[in-house]
Amino acid sequence: MDSFRLRDVAHWLAGAAILLGCERLGRTISEALALPVPGSVLGMLLLLLALMVYGRVPRGLAQVSEQLLRLLALLFLPAAVGVFYLRDLSAQDWLGLLAATVVGTLVSLTLCALLLARLLKRADREGVDD
Amino acid sequence: MTELLHSPLFALPLNLCAFLLGVAIYRRSGTALLHPIVGASALVAAVLWLLQIPYADYQQASGLLYALLGPAVVALAVPLKQNLAIIRRAGWPLAVTLAVGALLAPVVAVVVALLLGAAKPVLLALSGKSITTPIALALAEKIHAAQSLTAGIVVFTGVVGAVAGPPLLQRLNIRDHRVLGFALGINAHAVGTARALEISALCGAFAALAMGLCGALTAIVLPLFLAP
């Protein structure tokens, strides 16, 4: 039982090390080449590539990632609290923000859905023709 | 005493308690309008105001959470890998919709705000509105947008999409769960993905895939246009 637990912990640590290592690597590459892409996003793409080559997701990595993503709202809480301290926005800014988020989001969501529905229908039809 | 209030020893438990309460409120209410971050951030802001802790001090004391945002972005690769098989089945329609949607979401928002006369900081923060928060924050750093404004816009966008999206598409007679999930993932990121998972597992998988790909694509393309 004990050794089983220990192995789990080792898996988790390995998973956490993979995440930290990929982030570091992505950051280093982004800085070294002065890329405009955020280092963490580069790290994510590196990990995705590695997982595709490897063929499956190691158990420890899957578990650590799941936990981390479950806590996502906690991680960006400090940044979100800053919303209550926004002072230098004009009424016009607020109006623009509100309209852009509400109207903009619903317009682009609808257009996306209509486009995909049409494309899928066409793809399905071609699939039948084959 | 004040030293303690301004240290991580106070800030981290405060964040954790507020987060757990936010989750509890969200579960009890059962509506995406009360996404955990809504209750949690209001709670933290109220405590900071009551104890007269400056935001900058609290922000600095919460450094550990900021440090974990990077690894969380990397962790997005895992659900992405698990859902990538979908691409092989649904193929090119997804790729086309992703490219169009990733472009459309920020452009529509910025144009609407521009027409209403919003200032440049607002426009910059709006450009990352439809991608998942940790990527949006990393992007905000690159294009010099205000992080707090970005976080607020992203969360609000997700809530709007998750609440109004499904009924709107149903009215348009779009019932394919693949379409619904993909549209939610592109436009309402993690909040939309959580909503999609409630609708069906298929819907959720499409949303998770769209969210990850859209975030990565936007983070790669947007700085090319906006980086100073």
- For chain B, give the mean pLDDT: 84
Interface test with A, best of B81, B82, B211 (most A CBs within 10 A): B81
Is A100 within 8 Å of B188 when comparing Cβ atoms? no
- Residues B146-163: pLDDT tens digits? 778 888 888 888 888 888
The pLDDT confidence band at residue A25, using thresholds 50, 70 and 90, is very high
Chain A residues with CB inside 8 Å of B182's CB?
A: 112-113, 116
A100/B35 CB distance under 8 A: no
Mean predicted confidence (pLDDT) in B178-206? 84
Q: What is the pLDDT of residue A24?
A: 93
Write out the DSSP string of A37-65. Answer: S-HHHHHHHHHHHHHHHH-S--HHHHHHH
Q: What is the mean pLDDT of residues A6-22?
A: 89
Q: Which DSSP string do the residues of B146-208 spell out, in sequence order?
A: -HHHHHHHHHHHHHHHHHHHHHHHHHTT---HHHHHHHHHHHHHHHHHHHHHHH-HHHHHHHH
Predicted pLDDT of residue B46 = 93
| Region class of A55: left (phi > 0), else alpha (psi between -120 and 50), else beta | left
At residue B144, the pLDDT reads 78
Residue B115 is encoded by which pair of tokens? 């027409």
Quote the pLDDT of residue B82.
82
- Of all residues in chain B, the one with the smallest CA distance to A48 is B77
Say how far residue A90 (Cα) sits from the centre of its chain.
32
- Chain A partners within 8 Å of B146 (Cβ): 86
- Using CA atoms, how far residue B145 sits from A84, A107, B153, B172, in Å, is 17, 24, 12, 35
Give residues 59 to 118 of A whose Cβ lies within 8 Å of B: 61-62, 64-66, 68-69, 71-86, 89-90, 92-93, 95-97, 99-117
Report how far residue B102's alpha carbon sits from residue B221's, in angstroms, rounded to the nearest whole number. Answer: 10
In the predicted model, is pLDDT for residue B227 greater than 70? no
CA dist A82 and A84 (Å) reads 5
Question: What percent of chain B has a predicted confidence (pLDDT) above 90?
Answer: 7
DSSP B55-81: HHHHHHHTHHHHHHHHHHHHHTHHHHH
Among A73, A85, A97, select the one facing B148 at the smallest CB separation. A85
Residue A130 has pLDDT above 60, yes or no: no
Residues in chain B closer than 8 A to A23 (CB atoms): 70-71, 73-74
List the end-to-end C-alpha distance of chain B, in Å, as a whole number: 43
Question: Hey, which of A102-106, A123-127, B139-143 has the most confident mean pLDDT?
Answer: A102-106
In the prediction, which pLDDT does A31 show? Answer: 85
Which pLDDT belongs to residue B1? 61
Encoded amino acid at A68, one letter:
L
pLDDT score at B206: 85
**Residues above pLDDT 70, as percent of chain B:** 97
Tell whether the model's pLDDT for residue A128 goes beyond 70: no
Phi, psi of A12 (to 5 degrees): -60, -45
Band (pLDDT 50/70/90 cuts) for residue A18 is very high
